[in-house]
Structure 1
């Protein structure tokens, strides 16, 4: 595994984007060098520094050189801080927090809330139970309310609605934003609308000038209306926040929410065979393409990971995967949280089919293929060696966990 080359596509994008606040930190240390003719050459892009407002300034005197920062010093450069000391109003957001972290849908929702808040309002994020997220500041959260308690464990919509009503009474948000998703936000938003007696706007994908546009008719029709107080937004409703930091000041409820007697009993998660999960509903997909030479090893890796198997058109045409497992525009459009592409070069139809995936991991021998460019994490190497090492690492982790539990 030590010989495998790993790339950071986001760092490469920042290094190419001169307007990004972290661009200077991604530049190499050397800003001048001796050319082959004995003439000293200078890098004009290395001249300048990032000002306090995140704008790049050029200093010809050489007193401040942002290009002199090492490439690995990105953590030392901080984004400009957005502070709202006395907010005129509140925009409340209830993210799904699947797995205890913000999803891409949640970040789009926070980006929409930041737009609605402008410079006078503050974005309040309401989170239920324990979480693992440590990047609320760069996601656009000005105020954070964490509602902890055993009553929020598992499926507890009645108690969550009671808590949201308590938040509504205390903070009186100008708008409530929830993700219109299948992972809880869609149901919670509709329940909250019924409890508060308000009519929400659902499947909203665009907000502009006090108007919102919603999808209807199986996605074939758009409905424009005045922006209501309660909004259930679709994915990609706005650009996520990426160039400012926010305070994330913790707040608390002044009065505890009333206890609600649950009408349903949560029996916990049910173990499901990943092979029977429909591709469109799978959260974790291991997909193989023409670069997979050992399909038995591929199936073993999918079983070890607990992932749903998928394949490219080439793999399906060659008979290695069934037709219902084909991923792409000519197969199934998937929305997995993690999509691992093994030996897939990345045809345009396949890239269209995985466009809604949250995180994409590519394993390929060709560092220039389109799938490597699309991936959030790229591993360059032979697929059989990487899958074998991955299976061994999973087995070692599980054995260690069993020993610790014994």
Structure 2
């Protein structure tokens, strides 16, 4: 092995790019220096490391002081494993799982459950039907119970209540946590509370010192009450789990779920015009910026994808889109699962507005723009050509699906 110290162009690029997740870790920091009076001073800001959630943690061992650890962009953080071999009790969580994945609201709920479980309890996540989630371990799930069956598909609150009652009879959780949302958790939680005869604490945004604080009076007042067994929590009720990974051991019910005569018939989802969906609630946003030259093609592509249209501030100021479609800190903060940015360079205000989006796709000619750096998937090319190819791919896929159905 040669002793010659060679440059790392990628590390230098990350050190210059303030938007890169590893930018802070690449900044050299002086560990100690001699003051004007001859006293050695220590840099308290240089002690520690940046955790996976962007929070700085103090390293008391001193191993990371003085540059003894080589900083590299390819270093993977191995989170400590949190294990509960024999739980003293359970904290049951029923996430919404919109689209088959954990939402930010679900992760906040799991963070609250983790704080209630303490050292002896375990977080039990109850999921209905098939799911696409692969990050239960890092979300704070100790035990995972998947209730499968066609009776749980679609809108089936009565059968789901029966499933939760079976879980309640077998595991007897100390607390039940459901999201107080319009995605199903709010209704299911109230139905389940009436079924087991519990009075739930609703719209809870904080649990502290065995007291739950919930919103009341159209959100203008807070109600403080003892922590009940059934909690319907609002978004941002707690910090999501980020510094530990959990086992997420699969478990099963030992009893049969009682079947009831369905009094509700699910007629399927109702088609909704994407243009009528508020930006803050849209799950799929197709956003255009200054790089879009053919706006008619942009609108046709959004219609073919069934996406809600958005725009950057430049496109709104130029009159191509209305002000209510502006995305960013000076417009609307969005939480879409998929955000497609067409011809948007990525001003800091725009990047702030899409900070909570799950997956970001960027279509741009400039491979060095900030939006490309933020994106999970980038397409470098002329937007018109990419959009035409995208429309053709969507139409081909739908025609093939129709032939298979016939």
TM-score of the aligned structures, taking structure 1 as reference length: 0.76
Change (3 A) 1:396 1:58: farther
1:188 CA drift (Å): 0.8
1:158-169 matches, cutoff 5 A: 158-169=158-169
Residue equivalent to 1:117: 117
Residue equivalent to 1:305: 305
Residue equivalent to 1:84: 84
Residue equivalent to 2:240: 240
1:60-139 matches, cutoff 5 A: 67=70, 72=74, 74=76, 78-139=78-139
* Candidates 15, 21, 28, aligned match of 1:13: 21
1:213 CA drift (Å): 2.3
Q: 1:152 aligned to 2:160?
A: no
Alpha-carbon distance between aligned partners in 2 of 1:403 and 1:160, rounded to the nearest angstrom: 35
| Equivalent pair of 1:286/1:341 in contact (CA under 8 Å) | yes
Q: Secondary structure at the match of 1:268?
A: coil
Alpha-carbon distance between aligned partners in 2 of 1:334 and 1:353, rounded to the nearest angstrom: 6
| Equivalent pair of 1:103/1:358 in contact (CA under 8 Å) | no
Alpha-carbon distance between aligned partners in 2 of 1:56 and 1:395, rounded to the nearest angstrom: 58
Alpha-carbon distance between aligned partners in 1 of 2:142 and 2:271, rounded to the nearest angstrom: 38
Q: 1:176 aligned to 2:176?
A: yes
Summarize deviations over 1:140-183 as a string: whole Å, max 9, x none.
11111111111101110001011111111111111111111111
Summarize deviations over 1:77-125 as a string: whole Å, max 9, x none.
6422111011111000001111211122211211111111121110000
1:16-55 matches, cutoff 5 A: 16-17=24-25
The structure with higher relative contact order (CA 8 Å, sep 6+) is: 1
Summarize deviations over 1:12-33 as a string: whole Å, max 9, x none.
4257459xxxxxxxxxxxxxxx
| Equivalent pair of 2:63/2:69 in contact (CA under 8 Å) | no
Moved more, 171-180 or 351-360: 351-360
Residue equivalent to 1:30: none
Alpha-carbon distance between aligned partners in 1 of 2:25 and 2:364, rounded to the nearest angstrom: 26
1:305 CA drift (Å): 1.7
Alpha-carbon distance between aligned partners in 1 of 2:209 and 2:369, rounded to the nearest angstrom: 41
Summarize deviations over 1:36-79 as a string: whole Å, max 9, x none.
xxxxxxxxx9xx9x9xxx9796669xxxx9749x85574xx642
Summarize deviations over 1:317-374 as a string: whole Å, max 9, x none.
4221234434456655544332333334556765665565444444456677776676
Residue equivalent to 1:265: 265
| Equivalent pair of 1:104/1:358 in contact (CA under 8 Å) | no
Q: Which runs of 5+ in 1 are unaligned?
A: 1-6, 19-44
Change (3 A) 1:108 1:252: same
Change (3 A) 1:327 1:178: same
Alpha-carbon distance between aligned partners in 1 of 2:403 and 2:59, rounded to the nearest angstrom: 53
1:287 CA drift (Å): 1.8
Alpha-carbon distance between aligned partners in 2 of 1:373 and 1:89, rounded to the nearest angstrom: 44
Q: Secondary structure at the match of 1:132?
A: coil
Give aligned pairs, total.
364
Change (3 A) 1:119 1:368: farther
Change (3 A) 1:386 1:311: same
Q: Secondary structure at the match of 2:115?
A: helix
Moved more, 316-325 or 177-186: 316-325
1:302 CA drift (Å): 0.9
Q: 1:274 aligned to 2:278?
A: no
Residue equivalent to 1:339: 339
